[in-house]
């Protein structure tokens, strides 16, 4: 499987160090909000699960976790195909009044997923809604999208590993790497 990777962009050590620092940023920022100290964490499935699992162990806040399943890269797609919120796997309460919500995803690419989900969550009346992504691609749509916390800015290349997939494979790689174009073309 590692033979399918053109190059490693971010090592597991870099990820671990950055997540610890990012958690400190989030903790300091959330402490400035006048609330009960509890956070409602909303991970976007499935790509964010590894990032979220590592991040929450670094966050000291009392929290509830409510999942949201969103699809925008079906199968072998390498660009967003539109956003669909999957209600069957959505455990986010309809009423978020008074809650501080931290929305987490694996990658900010086109901004479509974050835009659709933040619009949906704002309808539920949270006290504060913060957004966090592991990766942000260096492309105009992503760089201009307002996001609160970014672990890494990366080149505009198709990446896998650490939760990110291609056709549901490569999520288990401990680092983030660029998938070889030949692998993508074989599945097109």
* Annotation says 109 is catalytic: yes
The C-alpha atoms of residue 8 and residue 2 are separated, in whole angstroms, by 10
Checking DSSP bridges between strand 159-160 and strand 149-154, what pairing results, if any? unpaired
Read off the tokens for 178: 């660029």
Catalytic residue among 3, 4, 105, 109: 109
Strands 5-10 and 176-179: antiparallel
SS3 for 42-92 is: EEEECCCHHHHHHHHCCCCCCEEECCEEEECCCCCCCCCCCCEEEHHHCCC
Tokens standing for 64?
């509830």
| DSSP tag of 131 | E
- Cα-based angle 72, 86, 62 (whole degrees, multiple of 5): 100
Q: Which are the catalytic amino acids?
A: 109
């Amino acid at each position: 499987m590692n033979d399918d990777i053109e190059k490693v962009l971010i090592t597991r050590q870099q990820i671990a160090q950055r997540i610890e620092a990012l958690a400190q940023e989030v903790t300091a920022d959330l402490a400035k909000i006048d609330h009960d100290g509890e956070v409602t964490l909303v991970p976007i499935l499935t790509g964010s699960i590894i990032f979220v699992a590592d991040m929450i162990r670094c966050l000291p806040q009392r929290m509830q976790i409510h999942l949201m399943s969103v699809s925008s890269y079906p199968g072998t797609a390498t660009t967003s195909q539109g956003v669909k919120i999957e209600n069957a796997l959505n455990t986010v309460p309809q009423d978020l009044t008074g809650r501080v919500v931290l929305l987490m995803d694996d990658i900010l690419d086109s901004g479509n997923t974050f835009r659709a989900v933040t619009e949906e969550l704002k309808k539920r009346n949270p006290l504060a809604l913060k957004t966090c992504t592991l990766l942000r691609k260096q492309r105009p749509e992503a760089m201009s999208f307002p996001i609160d916390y970014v672990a890494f800015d990366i080149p505009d290349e198709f990446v896998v590993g650490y939760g990110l997939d291609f056709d549901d494979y490569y999520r288990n790689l401990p680092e983030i790497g660029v998938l070889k174009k030949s692998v993508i073309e074989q599945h097109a």
